[in-house]
Chain A
Amino acid sequence: MTARVHRLTKRDKVVVAVMAGIPTLLALCLVWLPAIASIVLSFTNWTGVGGLSTITFDGVDNYKQLFSINPQFWPAVEHNLIWLAALLLVGTPLGMFLAYQLDKKIRLTKFYQTAFFLPVVVSTAVIGFVWKLVYDPDNGLINSLFHTNKPGDYLDWIGSPHLNLWAVLVAAIWRHAGYLMVLYLAGLKSVDPSLKEAAALDGAGGWQAFRHVVFPVLKPINIVVLVVTIIEALRAFDIVWVFNKGAQGTELLSILITQNIVGEASRIGYGSAIAVVLMVISLGAIIPYLWVTFRRERREGNGR
């Protein structure tokens, strides 16, 4: 049983209030106040210049503009979805595959794991620069290898709107697969080794053993992975900003929001409207996840 509150002395009550209060106040002021302010400001045309008294509400104008006029909005939504699909359909299975292979007791497994995991340790901004060196149309590794850096046979991986999204996605998948490999490796550790051996002795091939023995055990971790992946896809920003600042072909919601602040004309109200769109999509993933997590928490709490 947890300690009851009325047993606390007056001094202890103050201590508890400070311990819970100050961090909460900070999170409320710097995370939740801005989150709620985004919603309110999205219904205004505030540029951010002048005090709060200069704010005038103009209904859903920002949203109307966003959905019907802004030429970057729908491409951004589409690219975020493509990003998600790429991580989910390529990065995640790749991570799972690598984890499954590396979970077997083989030589050099430490080396392999390190190789796949290094991109996760390095900042996504640095990843952007490293891949920019690979993709550089004149001097990069790819165009130098394939001699596609000459006039007439020139592949502009960074500038061309037909290529640049796929180019950055390769970098994003590169990082994501390593991250998921580690999550899945941790999950696989919880698979009973005798189960795996039994499956091997029964003559179950790699794929069968995986499907019937390993995959079911990974089910709970798949929920976490799904949420992590969705959030990563919505957070995508650094690599693209470094690559080409989200110029034509690589627009993302996060980039549009940022452009409304650091661009020449700051439009607080309009930027907030894009932020609200991103927030609604994010909460669509966050709320079910928290619901699952905390329901289990409560059950476990009651079980004690």
Chain B
Amino acid sequence: MTVRLRGRIGLHVLLMAAALAWLAPLLWAVFTAFRPYDDTQKHGYLSWPKSLTFSNFTSAWSQAQFPGYFRNTVLVAVPGVLITLLFAAAVAFVVSRFSFWWNIPLLLLFTAGNLLPQQVIITPLYRLYLDVPGLGSGSGKMYDTLLGLVLIHVAFQSGFSTFVLANYMKTIPHELTEAALVDGAGVARQFFQIILPLCRPPLAALATLLSIWIYNDFFWAIVLISTGSKMPITSALNNLVGNYFTNDNLLAAGALMTALPTLIIYFLLQRQFISGLTLGSGKG
């Protein structure tokens, strides 16, 4: 008994130390962000704070024009998530409801594409975007447009969602759609009125996951967007360093404000997020 108890205490000491060590970098950023620049200049960054302030957040917010970047992120992430889910569900529906010979090759095409590193395709993609017409850029090309970002997110992300949704739809009894077929419901109605409503759990999990992934994406906009003010927030951060964030205090505030929305989504929708992450691997 005492041995077990001692074991328990030892485990807690270990885990608590590890957890605090894990949080330390984030806490350091929080600490830095709340300290006035003058204070850290005079006493060093590792010193007892004379006062704490919100001013780093407010000046990072207004000087660096955070609202504009957040707007860009919303304009990319909302359509990105919705179209990805619609496309993925459509392909998953076809693959799981009909027995075409190309079902597995099609699933492979989507799944494999999603597993490639982004940099493998970026060079021709970048060149392609310079030629393909798009909306919203000065040159009339796909390059440097938010539409271009939405499309590449959809094309790249739909693989994982298709895989997950196809697996889920296979567990839905075929009698359901067969019955609808007898009633004269076409394919579109079977999809929208029978299958999609039944897929609410994986759709909710995937929507949470995709929102965070697209929000967090750094790479596509770095290469495919050239106008600084068109960047989504995560990628914009890179340009803001040095231009607006002239000290560590402002940088910390800016980085934390960028992280905040994902943390909020995570804390609100924790269950969906975790189940989404393990959906793809849970089958393994």
Contact = CB atoms under 8 A, between A and B. Distances in A.
Given A19-B94, A126-B255, A24 B113 contact: no
B284 A241 contact: no
A292 to B, nearest CB: 9
B21 to A, nearest CB: 9
A129 interface: yes
B193 interface: no
A116 B25 contact: no
B262 to A, nearest CB: 5
Contact of A224 (B46, B100, B219, B284): B284
A268 B124 contact: yes
A282 B113 CA distance: 11
Contact of A133 (B28, B110, B277): B28
A261 to B, nearest CB: 5
B196 to A, nearest CB: 12
A301 B80 CA distance: 31
Interface stretch (B50-58, B64-72, B150-158): B150-158
B107 A272 contact: no
Contacts of A278: 117, 119-120
B93 A139 contact: no
A300 to B, nearest CB: 8
B258 interface: yes
Contacts of A265: none
A89 interface: no
Given A27-B113, A121-B266, A19 B91 contact: yes
B90 A115 contact: no
A91 interface: no
Interface in B7-54: 8, 11-12, 14-16, 18-20, 22-26, 28-29, 32, 40, 44-46
Interface string A115-156: 110110111111001111110100111001100000000000
Interface residues of A, number: 106
B23 A268 contact: no
A260 B123 contact: yes
B100 A5 contact: yes
B252 A133 contact: yes
B112 interface: yes
B243 interface: no
A111 B124 CA distance: 45
Interface stretch (B133-141, B173-181, B198-206): B173-181
A130 B219 contact: no
A297 B116 CA distance: 21
A78 to B, nearest CB: 17
29 contacts: A4-B99, A19-B191, A20-B91, A20-B95, A23-B91, A27-B109, A30-B151, A30-B155, A31-B113, A31-B156, A33-B128, A41-B124, A115-B19, A115-B22, A118-B22, A122-B259, A125-B235, A130-B28, A130-B29, A134-B28, A141-B45, A224-B281, A237-B117, A258-B119, A275-B120, A275-B121, A279-B116, A287-B112, A297-B104
Given A24-B106, A139-B45, A282-B115, 13 more contacts: A5-B98, A23-B90, A23-B162, A26-B158, A27-B155, A116-B18, A125-B237, A129-B254, A131-B25, A133-B28, A141-B46, A272-B123, A278-B119
Interface of A: 1-5, 7-9, 11-12, 15-16, 19-20, 22-24, 26-35, 37-38, 41, 48, 98, 101-102, 104, 106-108, 111-112, 115-116, 118-119, 121-126, 129-134, 136, 139-141, 144-145, 171, 174, 178-179, 182-183, 186, 220-221, 223-225, 227-228, 231, 234-235, 237-238, 241-242, 253-254, 257-258, 260-262, 268, 271-272, 275, 278-279, 282, 286-287, 289-290, 293-294, 297-298, 301
